[in-house]
Structure 1
Amino acid sequence: MIRFRDQFNIFIFVLSGIFLHAQEKKQFPGISTILSKINPDTKTDSWILVHKSYGKDNILREAGAKKEYESQSSGFNIGIAEEDEFYYIVDFSSGKPEYITDLNALRKFVGKVDNIQDAAVFASTEGYIIDEEFRDLAANYYEDKSNYYLDLGKLTSKECPYQKKHFTLTIGKSAESISNVKDNGAYIELYNKKCTNNPRLLKLEQKEEQKDEPKKSRKPAKRR
């Protein structure tokens, strides 16, 4: 009986270890690495992934025979876009070059989710970003048997205040949509001097009002 109990405890311990390992979060690599590992759903054995930075094309992946293409002046990004930097894909599935320069076209090119990189692309088409500056909050993931769970950021306001929030997204393996979104709150909230709703500015205004109130309520002294 004791031996059976010991074996059962060992089994539970091993099972728990496997479960915890499966839940372990991993940080996303760089944007270029993610895009290089997408698995296109379209029937193509020839395509090129290009990273263009300050007018210069850098081929990150070239699948199939080398073919000629024209450099593009615009493209997409799945992270925080830098100035004069973007990606585009040249797809030769129809026999002639077709250029993928926006996120919707990228999503169609990728198709169903075959790996975590595909899941990141799906999320980016819904406005989420891989925030490489805040990897622990908005650039990591874990997975189980059925789903990928992505912790990503999202720019929720460009007005006052400038704000970024982070979310946990659930995307099913072989799915084509986000099944659940958990809001984890803001991790960046920036105010400037022009923001009328700046908490610091409001506190200063309240202090000024409190200073002025005694002066306004002070009554002139009576003459005898």
Structure 2
Amino acid sequence: MKKSTNHIFLFVFLFLGISVFSQDKKKFTNIDGVLAKINPNSKIDFWVLVYNNYGKNKEIKVSGTKQDYLPQFAGFNLRPGEESFYYIVSSVGGKIIYITDIRELKEFIGKIDNVEEAAISAVLDGYLIDEHFVDVAANYYEDKNNYYLDLGKVTSKECPYQKSHFTLTVNKATGVVSNVKENGTYIEVYTKNCKNNPRLLKIEKKEEPKDDPKKQPVKKRK
């Protein structure tokens, strides 16, 4: 009886632990919301985050008193495979500056001040905030010292196209990634052109039916 009670207690303890852990996780709902949380370290007059989707510009965030600026025709793409990009317009000492590539974005962010900037920094290093698979590759939790980011990564563009998800431990004080844990593949996409497509291999390996001697045509006597 005591052994059974211990098992029940252990199960309840594990269940509660998993429930608490899952409740602590928060989701990055979309990339727009993450970029809007940027807190530039340098003193600027204003800054505007613009999203260009198929040639149409949309202002996602305006901070400060906006001045006139020219629309840009190129920028940094945080959604692989989509015809879209972002750019930032800012003003420092009255001079308009356009931020259109990853290197410039990293300089604009500067020191990591929040979890959103930690996620952007990881994206600039090759990870992705996967808006279509938020539960596995676009969420986080934190403690006193670290952010723990669950992000995705394209690990193969060959056959099959593949995405894996990782947990990155980011130090709050320094912004340094101290640990990366791979959690496995969550997407595998095979196309008709993939020679290693399991479905095609199964068809190729399928043996042709052998001729049944009983069903062979009877030879006629001359």
TM-score interval for Structure 1 and Structure 2 normalised by the shorter chain: 0.7 to 0.9
Match of 2:95, SS?
coil
Match of 2:191, SS?
coil
Q: CA deviation at 1:94?
A: 4.8
Relative to structure 1, is the Cα distance of residues 47 and 122 closer, same or farther in structure 2, using a 3 angstrom cutoff? same
Larger CA deviation: 52-61 vs 152-161: 52-61
* Structure 2 unaligned spans of 5+: 1-15, 212-222
Task: Tell me the alpha carbon deviations over residues 154-201 of structure 1, each in whole angstroms, 9 at most, x when there is no partner.
Answer: 111111001011011111113243221111111001112211112222
Larger CA deviation: 196-205 vs 143-152: 196-205
Q: CA deviation at 1:80?
A: 4.5
Match of 1:200, SS?
helix
Relative to structure 1, is the Cα distance of residues 21 and 152 closer, same or farther in structure 2, using a 3 angstrom cutoff? closer
Amino-acid identity (%): 56
| Partner residue in 2 for 1:34 | 34
Number of residue pairs matched by the alignment:
194
1:76 lines up with 2:76 in the alignment: yes
| Partner residue in 1 for 2:149 | 150
Relative to structure 1, is the Cα distance of residues 21 and 203 closer, same or farther in structure 2, using a 3 angstrom cutoff? closer
Counterpart amino acid of residue 141 in structure 1: Y
Match of 1:97, SS?
strand
Query: CA contact under 8 A between 2:162 and 2:188: conserved in structure 1?
Result: yes
Query: CA contact under 8 A between 2:41 and 2:110: conserved in structure 1?
Result: yes
Larger CA deviation: 129-138 vs 195-204: 195-204
Distance 1:22 1:118 in 2: 22
| Partner residue in 2 for 1:112 | 111
Relative to structure 1, is the Cα distance of residues 37 and 183 closer, same or farther in structure 2, using a 3 angstrom cutoff? same
Relative to structure 1, is the Cα distance of residues 108 and 99 closer, same or farther in structure 2, using a 3 angstrom cutoff? same
Aligned counterparts, 1:192-207, within 5 A: 192-207=191-206
Query: CA contact under 8 A between 2:45 and 2:90: conserved in structure 1?
Result: no
Match of 2:195, SS?
coil
Counterpart amino acid of residue 44 in structure 1: I
Match of 2:179, SS?
strand
* Structure 1 unaligned spans of 5+: 1-15, 216-224
Match of 2:104, SS?
helix
Distance 2:111 2:61 in 1: 20
1:131 lines up with 2:111 in the alignment: no
Relative to structure 1, is the Cα distance of residues 153 and 180 closer, same or farther in structure 2, using a 3 angstrom cutoff? same
| Higher helix fraction (1 or 2) | 1
| Partner residue in 2 for 1:172 | 171
Q: CA deviation at 1:58?
A: 1.6
Distance 2:179 2:110 in 1: 19
Match of 1:90, SS?
strand
Match of 1:149, SS?
strand
Q: CA deviation at 1:148?
A: 0.6
Query: CA contact under 8 A between 1:48 and 1:63: conserved in structure 2?
Result: yes
| Partner residue in 1 for 2:7 | none
Relative to structure 1, is the Cα distance of residues 79 and 150 closer, same or farther in structure 2, using a 3 angstrom cutoff? farther
| Partner residue in 2 for 1:60 | 60
Q: CA deviation at 1:125?
A: 0.5
Relative to structure 1, is the Cα distance of residues 111 and 174 closer, same or farther in structure 2, using a 3 angstrom cutoff? farther
| Partner residue in 2 for 1:44 | 44
